[in-house]
Homo-oligomer: A and B are copies of this chain.
């Protein structure tokens, strides 16, 4: 029990010097990668850069205690930062104390929600986000994020909640472009793109191993930071209109108290829920992928608790919503992290940075951070998925495109909600018209197949319907209509057999529909029979009036039902002929 809620007790017991070394090494690499990322994502969230550092310290320690993934690296991530900007921007202006308070409160709310969902084992709610919806949301978020950062590369003001607003502001302010900023931002962007593609091969040429070169390339953003700071100092770019990070408070994270203003909490409730679910889905996918590579397991419901603890820790230390990030977790994994302790050591590294390195960041151009973000998020934009979905499933394609369009035009919150609702609507629509088939006997066998696909025997007084779905309230009305329509077409009908081999469950509404069908058929002098009812379904039916009132029988097999009822046709007909031929 205790181990379920504190996974640290499990891996902590086996901790040794060897694991320590591996974890420490991974922590150093992740720390170097995380410093510029934390600053950049805070900028994306509309917060002071130091808040990004705060969000990368205590949350990592909390996750090390409560998380079940051995290699997940939590902290600020791009999509959640954008969602934070959107939610906090709705209640206060960027740069105000209220804005920061809203971000902190979002982290607290999201933390509590995640933990509650975890304790109640409601992780399945994340299933509401289908793959096409998530993919669409991530693509659209990538586009929104990249667009939102363009202004920093141009040194102009801007902003906006959605794509048309952002582009409008961008074009309106284009005349104010600051050319020194364009040069710095252009250089940083080009350098970071080059580092992605060309840096590792170059290092390999100089004799580094492939893996070592790949690791070193992750330091690209740090190199860009150093180079552009040097450029600012060398050419005195600060006086030429290049926006700089400026004074960053030195020291450990402060103790922060989230707001208890119920009005604010009510306003932030839905955004916090969306941030929680998006963050959870992103995090759990990464964690599962990495765990499977080492044949480890994660526990999704406990992951909720782990992420909840991380976000509460973030809120209490002046940070904003965090989750498990893809890029940094892969780096952590590749660098050989063995346990979540690597995360705690990374936290130590970031704490040292916020104690000692922040004065060095004074001359860091904002454009460098924007370039870091743009290069990182453009890989989120996935142009192949729409075509694949179109070919595979039109419904999934519709949900994907609706999510992209709604996110671009109406912002991140409406985008997620639209995608989830459309996905659910399509699912319910399909669930309300499941597959069923009129079946007949395959000659000289005990098999029954769809009359529309196979050459099978049927009898005018006997109708066999195979239902390929559980009977639930969503399809109960459909079942009544389907059966009664088939019956209305056949004036000679005497018996209906429902073949229930694929019926895994019948809920109360489904039972009600069976009763209604039974009564209506009985009114018309037709018997209703069931065949191949599964054990657990039969156990339930045994306790009900339905079986008592059933104007027919329950047969173990469809073959037996057919054989016995085929004879009951009142008059001589094909049946006898077929009986004589041994067909039935």
* Chain A interface residues (CB < 8 Å from chain B): 124-132, 288-289, 292-293, 295, 297, 300, 388-389, 391-393, 395-396, 423, 427-430, 432-435, 453, 468-469, 472-478, 480-481, 484-485, 488, 502, 504-505, 507-509, 511-512, 516, 519-520, 523-524, 535, 540, 543-545
How far does the alpha carbon of A228 sit from the alpha carbon of B298 in the complex, in Å?
A: 74
B477 touches A126 (CB 8 A): yes
Query: Contact between B485 and A297 (Cβ–Cβ < 8 Å)?
Result: yes
Check A473–B423 contact: CB distance below 8 A. yes
A535 to B437, CA, bound (A): 14
Bound: A453/B432 CA distance, A: 31
**How far is it, in angstroms, between the C-alpha of A333 and the C-alpha of B384 when the chains are bound?**
59
Contact A476 B428 (CB under 8 A): no
Within 8 Å CB of A478, what residues of B? 124, 127
A512 to B135, CA, bound (A): 11
Tell me the smallest distance from the CB of A562 to a CB of chain B, in Å: 20
**A124 interface neighbour in B391, B433, B472, B512, Cβ under 8 Å:** B433
Query: Shortest distance in angstroms between A532's beta carbon and chain B's nearest beta carbon?
Result: 12
Q: Is the CB of B523 within 8 A of A481?
A: no
**Other-chain residue from B124, B427, B508, B544 in contact with A132 (beta carbon distance below 8 A):** B508
Whether A543 pairs with B392 at a CB distance below 8 angstroms is yes
Q: Are B488 and A392 in contact, with the CB atoms below 8 A?
A: no
- Write the nearest CB–CB distance from A198 to chain B, whole angstroms: 28
| Chain B residue nearest to A475 in the complex (CB) | B127
If A392-B543, A393-B508 touch, whether A127 touches B485 (CB-CB below 8 Å) is: no
In the bound assembly, the distance between CA atoms of A511 and B125 in angstroms comes to 20
- Once the chains bind, are B428 and A292 in contact (CB under 8 Å)? no
Selected contact of A392 from candidates B427, B468, B544, CB within 8 Å: B544
Chain B residues near A432 (CB, 8 Å)?
124, 127
A393 contact set on B, CB distance < 8 A: 507-508, 540
The answer to whether B434 touches A504 (Cβ under 8 A) is yes
Given A126-B477, A476-B131, check contact A289 B504 (CB 8 Å): no
* A508:B292 contact, CB within 8 angstroms: no
In the complex the two chains form, what is the Cα distance from A574 to B157 in whole Å? 60
CB-CB under 8 A from A127, the residues of chain B are 428, 432, 473-478
Q: Please, which residues of chain B bring their CB within 8 A of the CB of A131?
A: 473, 476, 508-509, 512
Task: Tell me if B289 and A516 are in contact (CB < 8 A).
Answer: yes
**In the bound complex, do residue A288 and residue B480 qualify as a contact, i.e. CB atoms below 8 Å apart?**
yes
Q: A297-B488, A543-B391 are in contact. Are A508 and B473 (CB under 8 A)?
A: no
Taking CB as reference atom, which chain B residue is nearest A485?
Answer: B297
The answer to whether residues A507 and B476 also contact, given A297-B485, A428-B128, A543-B391 and a CB cut-off of 8 A, is no
**Other CB < 8 Å A-B pairs besides A131-B508, A391-B543, A392-B508, 6 of them?**
A124-B433, A130-B507, A292-B520, A292-B524, A393-B507, A468-B502
- In the assembled complex, the Cα of A126 lies from the Cα of B289 at a distance in Å of 40
What are 10 of the A-B contact pairs (CB < 8 Å)?
A124-B477, A126-B477, A127-B474, A130-B509, A131-B509, A288-B480, A392-B544, A393-B508, A396-B507, A469-B504
Partner of A508, one of B130, B295, B524: B130
Q: Are B488 and A295 in contact (CB under 8 A)?
A: yes
**When chains A and B are docked, how far (Å) is the Cα of A507 from the Cα of B398?**
13
Residues of chain B within 8 A of A543, CB atoms compared: 391-392
Per CB-CB distance, the 8 closest pairs between chain A and chain B, nearest first, are: A130-B473, A292-B520, A396-B508, A131-B509, A124-B432, A131-B512, A130-B509, A127-B474
